[in-house]
Amino acid sequence: MSRFRFAPVLLAAVLAMGLASRQPACAQTRIPTQSIDPFGQEITLSAKPIIYVAGSGKWDKAYDTLTEAFKRLGAYLERSGLKPSGPEMTIYTSTSDLGFDFEAAVPLAEPPRTAPERGITVGESPAGKVLKFVHRGSYEEMTQTYEAITNYLDEKGLDAKDLLIEEYLTDLATSPGDKLVVNVFVPLR
């Protein structure tokens, strides 16, 4: 199954995130979506200027790792007077059973005029054809969404890139536990 290279990456993330959750993940549990939410909708993302913090983390500490990265970006934006032009996003650049490499990013209307402080980088968000999925619920419940995405890709015979993007429509750190809304973008080959 070499054409499904992304499915093992998603499966590794799903299994690892399940280890980090406080409640056991059950395959029979309903995925917290709404009928109006896209599931596998093909769209094209345009590149946007972003600032980001790159890092690595372990799945059992993923939530803490990501929220700390976004706090750092938020503090930088406040100090520099820059305003986000869209929701925060995590760009997963690689994953394994134990951990992940990521870019915690904030889109801007235009790149900053001066170089950001050390550890914060200016770049562009991923662009191109993606499948859009929506997750509603807690961070821990995202495991179920990723299981459904993996099954969808497998059923449709789709070949995805080894990249994954989460766009947080609600604040990752401050949203009530069961009220998180995340767009998950899966780039296709």
Break the chain into its structural domains and give their ranges.
Answer: 2-187
Please state, as a whole number, how many other Cβ atoms lie within 10 Å of the Cβ of residue 143: 25
Check residues 125 and 33 and name the one with the higher pLDDT: 125
Distance CA 90, CA 122 (A): 15
Q: How confident is the model at residue 1 (pLDDT cuts 50, 70, 90)?
A: very low
Give strand pairing partners of 164: 92
What pLDDT shows up at residue 134?
96
CATH architecture of structural domain 2-187: Alpha-Beta Barrel (3.20)
Whether 63 and 102 have beta carbons less than 8 Å apart is answered as: no
What pLDDT shows up at residue 38?
83
Residues in the chain: 189
Q: Is the pLDDT of residue 25 over 80?
A: no
Q: How confident is the model at residue 15 (pLDDT cuts 50, 70, 90)?
A: very low
Give the angle subtended at the CA of 106 by the CAs of 48 and 134, to the nearest 5°: 85
Check residues 14 and 36 and name the one with the higher pLDDT: 36
What pLDDT shows up at residue 175?
86
